[in-house]
Amino acid sequence: MSEYTPRSVDEIAKRVAQDIDEGMYVNLGIGQPTKVADFLPKDKDIFLHSENGVLGMGPAPDEANQDGDLINAGKQYITLLEGGSYFHHGDSFAMIRGGHIDLCVLGAFEVAENGDIANWFLGRPKDIPAVGGAMDLAVGAKKVYVIMDHVSKNGDPKIVETLNLPITGERCVNRIYTDLAVIDVTDDGLVVRDMVDGLSFEALQAKTGATLRPA
Amino acid sequence: MSEYTPRSVDEIAKRVAQDIDEGMYVNLGIGQPTKVADFLPKDKDIFLHSENGVLGMGPAPDEANQDGDLINAGKQYITLLEGGSYFHHGDSFAMIRGGHIDLCVLGAFEVAENGDIANWFLGRPKDIPAVGGAMDLAVGAKKVYVIMDHVSKNGDPKIVETLNLPITGERCVNRIYTDLAVIDVTDDGLVVRDMVDGLSFEALQAKTGATLRPA
Amino acid sequence: MLNKVTATALEAMRHVKDGDTVLIGGFGLAGQPAELIDALIERNAKELTIVSNNAGNGETGLALLLKSGCVRKIICSFPRQHDSYIFDALYRAGEIELEVVPQGTLAARIQAGGSGLGAVYTPTGYGTLLTEGKETRTIDGVDYVLEYPIKADVALIKAYKGDRWGNLTYRKAARNFGPIMAAASKHTIAQVSEVVSLGEIDPEHVVTPGIFVHEVVCIEGEAA
Amino acid sequence: MLNKVTATALEAMRHVKDGDTVLIGGFGLAGQPAELIDALIERNAKELTIVSNNAGNGETGLALLLKSGCVRKIICSFPRQHDSYIFDALYRAGEIELEVVPQGTLAARIQAGGSGLGAVYTPTGYGTLLTEGKETRTIDGVDYVLEYPIKADVALIKAYKGDRWGNLTYRKAARNFGPIMAAASKHTIAQVSEVVSLGEIDPEHVVTPGIFVHEVVCIEGEAA
């Protein structure tokens, strides 16, 4: 088995950022997806949307400029770019549900080979359900990209034939970015677009719970 | 038969205005109902709504201050009071359909004894159907008052047992102001609240196509 | 740098195709995007379905569009006005199809289209000629009609100020259908009286965020 | 002269009754009407159903309201936060009922309530645990869930400026649920940082027209 280095959190975020074009309206989910913002090209107009009524999010403010009324969906302090706007939750989810968001980047617990995603609830007896905007983003955005580790901490595949965990949205994921590979969800199944150097297709398949195809 | 003088258009409008309290949100329909605005007490805050996205309509402007962007639902030039506001058609009809308009005053071709109203379409072969906001106002306003002549130009009653003309809204009229009387539509039928001087109840009943009751 | 400002109204029409559904803003003449409509006439796409509150006045704007023969069908709440003689003649001659929709239902259907709802139950028009044959349901003792979304290929609206990201403000009652039509269309073209720098419109005062707008055309000398 | 300005937050609570449904604005702490919530706790009405995006943070505002024992049920999209320990404990002890609603469905249901729609078909949540048992329908090839309106007895929201007719503006992302909750309630109470003269809010910049607002309470020293 050959040597390879998994992509770091930053490297994955950078890899996603490469696939975002000028003029796109993008919602970055809470957690790891938020990091994608740090790697977007500064010379291109890319519009970041936040569920809580903000379009045109800028970088995090320094401490002196934090404003409790200006936060993102993850409740982190943000800034607004010139040309940004505020609106209410009805309008914000009209943007999402109405198909106006070009791309949403989400974290996930599991993705199935047909694009089903589970990212809202582990469903263990002690867990309290909480969904936020996850289900709206999954069904509403024109494209859904997922960032997640290729396997769980126990080594179990997170890309599976059918979901084991409660579903967030049916057949909505278009692409999966893991620490090992970038995989498209297509009508012909899961297609590997790229892999980390030194990893063989067979080794990647072995860590994946559904059948992969080379590009 | 005793002598009586039918109420003039202005007298009817003034009579309606007497029944409008401070703080009410009111939509005045196109035509005769618009006249009610002229008789509202100047010292009370009464809010006039127009379907095309205006709340807080003021009196008509003089010719020098007419503005093509500031019209009412009848496409007449209007003004806006201090404290008024503009909004889009979605919000404007949310106000209507959502029950936020306290009172709507409409013209009508016919009103039935159960409160059904016909005011949008005569339905003759040559007529072109056009409804505007009439159906929304009829079902949405908390109260619907109607202003109309007591009988048609042919002398036919316009207050009837059941409508002859295409319906606008079911069981929505609360009160009818005619040139002869003010009549409430109640669960116990049509109740005459007042009549012009010199007109007998029997004479009013003779001009009415449904059974009246004294107050 | 993204710039949604398009030089001419005609250029903005390049995406309009035969058979398109086109939303046109305005209530009477207020908010009617007259110059965009002129350009649409020049574009000469055929078999259009037009959605607008009225069916045109006199011999301008929407009325001229109908006269041009480009329109197969119009969906509106109030076609008949004192000076809607062009529409009236076409309708009586059977040369245009008409769908009359209560004004609030027109708004609700456009909003449903823009916000991704599959259908809505509205009380308006229940039991009337305009909802004959439509599905109904009684919910909590109130009778409702099931109404389906209106989505369009193109929207033509008239705003007041716009910037290169497509943010818009409106002027007085000319706002009317503009914001909801912008959201319900695949391609929204806004004519404005003034193009302003990014940030000049206060983010609190943006009425239509740029996400709903694809092209901004400045019509000179049109300011209030 | 109509004046919707009420002197104190507690006075504004006089209409709240046992068993009421109360909409409470805010997303996390932004836009949460903390002083109105404090007054609601003091009012001590019982068996309330609360509709709010979250279920409270730390030991303030909404969290304190839950702790007060006045709340029978909460409808929200995201109850679990890092500092939502008061809710978490009540929920695990079975002392509060929870209805989790996807955030956009929460908004859509509140909007349906405010705009008089009987129900709406939304694609969100189709096929998930959160819509189990709900009516569904396929429209134009897309699967939708039928969702019913949320209407309330009282709404408590936080705005920025308000006038005596109840017109409101908001501040940045604190706008969130305020405007749609104001419209969905029989009695809307807004706390503002400043009461301004009639006309001081430009009619183009009014976000919530006074028709949706019944009482305005000025909270001193709260400006940004």
Distance between B210 CA and the closest CA of chain C, angstroms? 22
Pick among A81, A95, A136 to test the D interface (most D CBs inside 10 A): A136
The pLDDT-based confidence of A198 (bands split at 50, 70, 90) is: very high
Q: Looking at A3, A11, A22, A51, which residue is catalytic?
A: A51
User: Which residues, in sequence order, are CB contacts of B101 under 8 Å at separation 6+?
Assistant: B25, B26, B27, B49, B95, B137, B140, B141, B142, D211
Q: For each of the domains in chain B, give its residue range(s) and CATH number, in order of start.
A: 9-214 (3.40.1080.10)
- Count CB atoms within 10 A of the CB of residue C108: 31
Burial classification of residue D209, based on how many CB atoms lie within 10 Å of its CB (0-12 exposed, 13-18 middle, 19 or more buried) = buried
Query: Which residues are paired to D54 by β-bridges?
Result: D78
Distance from CA of A51 to the nearest CA of C (A): 14
Q: Please state, in angstroms and rounded to a whole number, the distance separating the CA atoms of residues A122 and D128.
A: 13
pLDDT, averaged across chain A: 97
Q: Is the pLDDT of residue C149 over 90?
A: yes
How large is the average pLDDT for residues A128-150? 98
Interface of D with C (CB under 8 A): 108, 112, 115-123, 137, 139-140, 142, 144, 148, 169-172, 203-205, 207
pLDDT class of D223 with cuts at 50, 70, 90: very low
Note whether B130 contacts C80, CB cutoff 8 Å: yes
Closest approach of chain C CAs to the CA of A94, in angstroms?
4
- pLDDT of D221 reads 62
Asked if the C-beta of A85 comes within 8 angstroms of chain C's C-beta atoms, the answer is: yes
Predicted confidence at residue B184, as pLDDT, reads 98
Is D9-116+151-218 in CATH node 3.40.1080.10?
A: yes
Confidence of residue C191 (pLDDT cuts 50, 70, 90): very high
Q: Which residues pair with D119 in a beta bridge?
A: C121
Q: What is the pLDDT of residues B25-83, one digit of tens each?
A: 999 999 999 999 999 999 999 999 999 999 999 999 999 999 999 999 999 999 999 99
Per-residue model confidence (pLDDT) at position A143 = 98
Read out DSSP for chain D?
----EES-HHHHGGG--TT-EEEE--BTTBT--HHHHHHHHHHT--SEEEE-SB---TTSHHHHHHHTT-EEEEEESB---TT-HHHHHHHHTT-SEEEE--HHHHHHHHHHHHHT-SEEEE-TTTTSGGGTT--EEEETTEEEEEE----EEEEEEE-SEE-TT--B---GGG-TTHHHHHHTEEEEEEEESEE--TT-S-TTT-SB-GGG-SEEEE-TT---
Q: Does C223 score more than 50 pLDDT?
A: no
Task: State the number of CA atoms in the 13 A half-sphere of A178 facing the CB.
Answer: 24
Per cent of chain C over pLDDT 90 is: 96
Can you give the pLDDT of all 215 residues of chain B as single tens digits?
A: 568 999 999 999 999 999 999 999 999 999 999 999 999 999 999 999 999 999 999 999 999 999 999 999 999 999 999 999 999 999 999 999 999 999 999 999 999 999 999 999 999 998 999 999 999 999 999 999 999 999 999 999 999 999 999 999 999 999 999 999 999 999 999 999 999 999 999 999 999 999 999 99
Predicted local confidence at residue C220, as pLDDT:
77
Are the Cβ atoms of B136 and C104 closer than 8 angstroms? yes
What span, in angstroms and rounded, lies between the C-alpha atoms of C52 and C28? Answer: 10
Among the partner residues A93, A128, A170, nearest to D108 by beta-carbon distance? A93
**For chain B, where are the alpha helices, taking DSSP H only?**
9-18, 89-97, 134-140, 201-206
Closest-CA residue in chain D for B46?
D2
Does residue B82 have an active-site annotation? no
**In chain B, what residues touch D178 (CB-CB under 8 Å)?**
none
- Given the structure tokens 């009579």, which residue do they identify? B15
pLDDT tens digits for C37-65? Answer: 999 999 999 999 999 999 999 999 999 99
- C108 and D115 within 8 Å at the Cβ level: the answer is yes
* Mean pLDDT score of chain D: 96
Give the residue among B75, B25, B84 at the shortest CA–CA distance from B54: B84
Report the alpha-carbon distance of residue A22 to residue A46 in Å, rounded.
5
Instruction: Please tell me which of the candidates B69, B89, B97 has its beta carbon nearest to residue C224.
Output: B69
**pLDDT of residue D222 exceeding 90:** no
Q: Kindly report the nearest CA distance between residue C64 and chain D, in angstroms.
A: 31
| pLDDT of amino acid D224 | 43
pLDDT recorded at residue A1: 53
Q: Which pair of structure tokens corresponds to residue A149?
A: 């580790």
Residue A72 reports pLDDT greater than 80? yes
Helix (H) or strand (E) holding C50: strand C48-51
Look at D102 and A133 and tell me if their CB atoms are within 8 Å: yes
